[in-house]
Structures are given as C-alpha cells and as structure tokens.
Amino acid sequence: MVVHLEMKASLIKELVKAIENVNEECVWNFDSQGLHIRMSDIYKYKMLDIKIDSSDFISYSCDAPVELGIVIDRIKDVTKTLRTKDVLTLHTEHQPDDITSDNYISLKSNGLSRSVKLIDIAMVGEVPSLTGAELSLSNGFRTTIDSTPLRNFLKAASKAISFNVVCSGGVLNFTSKTEEGLVEATFDSEDIVLLPADYVGDTQYSVKEVDSATSTMKGLTRVRGCNINESGEGGLIELEWNVADNSTVRALVAPRV
C-alpha cells in the first residue's frame, strides 16, 4: 500500500495545530479521495472530523485505502522547522499485515529526510459514532458566520469557565460572564440567516474546550447547534470551516453540564 504526496507547509502546519489541541494520537485514513481524520479527546468531549481533498495537495497518489496510526508530536518535530512556503513530501509503503516489519512514513523537505514510526491503530482510542450527533443537530439551528468576532469572543472570555449560545428571534448570541464583566458576540439578521428563524435555545459550553477544538478556525464558519432534549441528550455545537479550497475541519463539542 503506497501513499505519496506533496503538500504546502502551511497546510500541514494547520493540520498539526488542529490535531494537537485535541489528542496526541489519531488515525490518518488515505484513499483515492484524499486524507480523512476523525478523532476525539480521551474524554470524548470534543471531536474533529478533518477531510483533505486530493485536489488540495500539490500532488497525490494512493494505490489502496490505508489507515496509519500517528503520534502527532513526531510529525510536529518536522513541521515546526518549515517555513510557510516550503513543500513537504510524505511517502509510505505501509504493510499492515506484515508483523515482522516496522512501519514508517518518510517526510522530506528542503533536502532533509526523516523517518517517523507509526503506531498500531488498535492503540488509538475509538471515536464516537456520528449517527446520534447528526440526528440531534438535524433538529437544531444552522447558520454561517464570520469567524473573526467568534475568535475574538473566545479570546476575551478565555479566563471564564463557560459561555452560552443563545438563539432567539433570528439572532445568535455568544455570551460569557467574566471577572471583568459581560463579554458578547452577537450576530443578528443583518449578519446571518438563522434557520429555522423561530428557533429558540440556550446552551452552555466550556470556553477552553471550544477554543481548543477551533484552534484553526478562520473565514466563514458553518455553525449548527441543538438543545438538550428531555432524555438529557444533544446540546452539541458544530463548527466547520475550510482549510483549503475543497478541504474542511469540522469540530463538535458537547455541552457543559
């Protein structure tokens, strides 16, 4: 199973930053479409769903689907030396059924090559199913926002434990009580189209967890959320943004209860 690709240093740096803020280990799934990573923190409190389309690599080839167990710090040891305009080459001839051989990926940039040892994917914690999450979110609200005010809000509320996401009258409001006073980011009908327009909700989330899950959030961000139902389920918030033309990072965070 051979994977060979070239990618911009800026893209791999984004990947490393997003991943390391959630967990140190994850599984990279390569197939003809590109790279897919679905991972969660050890407490299953937040999850990332990362999809890098093959068209967003400088070059890409994968002769058969393969799963690689990655320790992200081993990748970061290489990527932290790269400049934004550098190009990183990744190559592996992974043999998952050959228990007699060690499996590595090779990373090359600027004439320097390094072998990074893989881990057994069985050692990586199981990621929760998205089935229940999708069902809950389908009954909630959805909209698209400019992420800059939200990032500024999370920074301003960084010393607080939690914040509330409030929907009412077509307005989406992020609010947190800090020691310095109330911090708010409001998106009204001039900024967004909230669907359904009559959705009403008020759910609390951890500032730290949402901030870490959205460490690479930028540009327009698609937001979905839902209330906690009578069974005590739901309450998730989902934020999704593009890291390249056809590639996305989707973060899901459970409510603070």
List pLDDT tens digits, range 83-114: 989 999 999 997 766 554 468 999 999 888 99
Residue 190 belongs to what domain range?
Answer: 131-253
CATH no. for residue 146? 3.10.150.10
The model's pTM is 0.93
CATH no. for residue 14? 3.70.10.10
Q: Are residues 153 and 49 in the same domain?
A: no
Q: Are residues 119 and 146 in the same domain?
A: no
| Edge-to-edge strand list for the sheet holding 181-187 | 181-187, 171-178, 162-168, 201-206
pLDDT in tens, 7-34: 999 999 999 999 999 999 999 999 999 9
- Provide, rounded to the nearest whole percent, the portion of the chain with pLDDT above 70: 96
CB neighbours of 28 closer than 8 A, spacing ≥ 6?
35, 36, 37, 67, 68, 70
Domain final position from 76, 102, 123: 123
What pLDDT score does 100 carry?
43
Tell me the C-alpha distance between 152 and 174, whole Å: 11
Q: What's the whole-number mean pLDDT along residues 40-57?
A: 96
Residue 78, both tokens: 């290489």
Alpha helices in 139-225 (DSSP H): 147-156, 207-213
Q: Are residues 116 and 16 in the same domain?
A: yes
